[in-house]
């Protein structure tokens, strides 16, 4: 058996819509098989994983909390990837954003003012952008591979956070536990409306960011510049666009959104700093960006789907006793299937059997 590809004359609009759904369906089928192999009832497991979290109001709030950082970062990464810049260090920019954003409520603990929260958000976004500026500077001026540098910086950011929390920023009344002081009420991102349970404003920020990015990509010159430079640097140069400046734009933009996601998560959900503030959101956001086909509105949907895998993992651990590590497996599988289904958009796939061709390979 062999698989032959034939380039389509134009991108298939049908498969552009279908491929993410197909990928999702394949992931579910594989997931069911995996549960069956683990000796669990696949129907019950899939129900616990993907349906149960959607049935209760409180878990819908949790979904919004999990999806918010994924959408915020996914949208930024999508813009960056569209311009053919590979920022895979969103996890690090998330961490640094959380740190710079927390500077005000931790260092100026006794300063009570309605300005605290806006200042935190701005400083979080700035911190993320500045940290994203490092791989941008290295790529634009030293020609360094941005994939490797942005990833190395993730480890550095996490160690830096660890040092802060175990040293200068440790809660003096925390019995030596590595946590910072709990934020004062002014420094906590409020719930969206009073009865909205725990779901806080980060989800709203995420939706706004997605709509603005969609508008930028579709209707503005900047969006056109991003697309052109991403597809052909040479063509972009003829149009007078600078690929160096695009490197800066891509990284600062995605870094700022990742930083904002970081401070929102710390301020809205955790309410203090601790060594581990993210269950790999920055890496999952890469999957979110691809599942959303790098389209900001698609990313809202894919952010919710990936958010659900986090909730489902926790739920399945409680109700059917599978490890919550299943979440990461699901996420990895999903990205694999998304990438393979994307082939259908650009190519006609034909499966042939070599025997029928008389063995002429």
Binding site for other proteins (CB under 8 A): 3-7, 86, 88, 138, 142-145, 147-149, 151-153, 155-156, 159-160, 162-163, 166-167, 283, 286-287, 290, 323, 325-333, 335-336, 339-340, 342-343, 347, 349
- The token pair at 132 is 């994203």
Minimum distance, C-beta of residue 258 to other proteins, in the bound complex (Å): 16
Q: Which is nearer to other proteins, 202 or 288 (CB)?
A: 288
Radius of gyration (C-alpha) of the chain in whole angstroms: 22
Minimum distance, C-beta of residue 341 to other proteins, in the bound complex (Å): 9
Q: Which is nearer to other proteins, 242 or 343 (CB)?
A: 343
Q: Which is nearer to other proteins, 119 or 148 (CB)?
A: 148
- The token pair at 178 is 């590595």
Minimum distance, C-beta of residue 282 to other proteins, in the bound complex (Å): 11
| Helical (H) or strand (E) element with 350 | strand 347-352
Sign (positive or negative) of CA dihedral 53, 54, 59, 65: positive
Name the CA dihedral angle for 247, 286, 156, 101, rounded to a multiple of 10 degrees.
80
Minimum distance, C-beta of residue 129 to other proteins, in the bound complex (Å): 19
Phi-psi domain of 356 (left: phi exceeds 0; alpha: psi -120 through 50; beta: other): alpha
Residue 251 in 3-state DSSP? helix
Is 85 in contact with 251 (CB distance < 8 Å)?
Answer: yes
Q: Which is nearer to other proteins, 84 or 271 (CB)?
A: 84
Is 127 in contact with 101 (CB distance < 8 Å)?
Answer: yes
Minimum distance, C-beta of residue 20 to other proteins, in the bound complex (Å): 14
Q: Which is nearer to other proteins, 86 or 205 (CB)?
A: 86
């Amino acid at each position: 058996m062999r698989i032959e590809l034939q380039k389509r004359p134009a991108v298939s609009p049908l498969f552009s819509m279908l491929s993410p759904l197909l990928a999702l369906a394949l992931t579910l089928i594989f997931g069911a098989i995996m549960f069956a192999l683990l000796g669990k009832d696949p129907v019950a497991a899939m129900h616990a994983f993907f349906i149960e979290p959607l049935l209760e109001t409180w878990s819908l709030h949790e979904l919004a909390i999990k999806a918010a950082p994924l959408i915020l970062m996914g949208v930024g990464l999508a813009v960056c990837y569209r311009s053919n810049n590979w920022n895979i260090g969103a996890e690090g920019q998330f961490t640094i954003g959380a740190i710079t954003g927390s500077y005000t409520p931790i260092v100026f603990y006794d300063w009570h003012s309605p300005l605290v929260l806006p200042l935190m958000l701005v400083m979080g976004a700035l911190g993320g952008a500045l940290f994203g500026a490092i791989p941008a500077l290295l790529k634009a001026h030293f020609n360094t591979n941005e994939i490797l540098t942005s990833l190395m910086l993730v480890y550095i950011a996490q160690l830096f956070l660890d040092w802060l929390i175990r040293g200068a920023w440790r809660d003096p009344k925390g019995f030596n536990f590595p946590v910072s002081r709990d934020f004062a009420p002014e420094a906590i991102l409020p719930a969206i409306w009073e009865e909205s349970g725990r779901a806080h404003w980060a989800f709203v920020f995420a939706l706004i960011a997605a709509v603005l990015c969609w508008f930028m990509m579709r209707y503005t010159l900047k969006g056109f510049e991003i697309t052109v430079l991403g597809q052909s640097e040479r063509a972009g140069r003829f149009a007078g666009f600078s690929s160096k400046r695009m490197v800066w734009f891509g990284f600062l933009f995605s870094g700022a959104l990742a930083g904002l996601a970081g401070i929102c998560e710390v301020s809205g959900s955790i309410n203090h700093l601790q060594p581990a503030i993210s269950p790999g959101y920055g890496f999952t956001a890469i999957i979110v960006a691809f599942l959303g086909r790098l389209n900001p509105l698609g990313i809202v949907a894919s952010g919710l789907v990936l958010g659900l895998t986090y909730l489902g993992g926790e739920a399945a651990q409680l109700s059917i006793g599978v490890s919550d590590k299943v979440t990461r497996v699901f996420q990895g599988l999903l990205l694999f299937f998304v990438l393979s289904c994307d082939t259908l958009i650009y190519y006609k796939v034909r499966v042939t059997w070599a025997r029928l061709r008389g063995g002429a390979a």
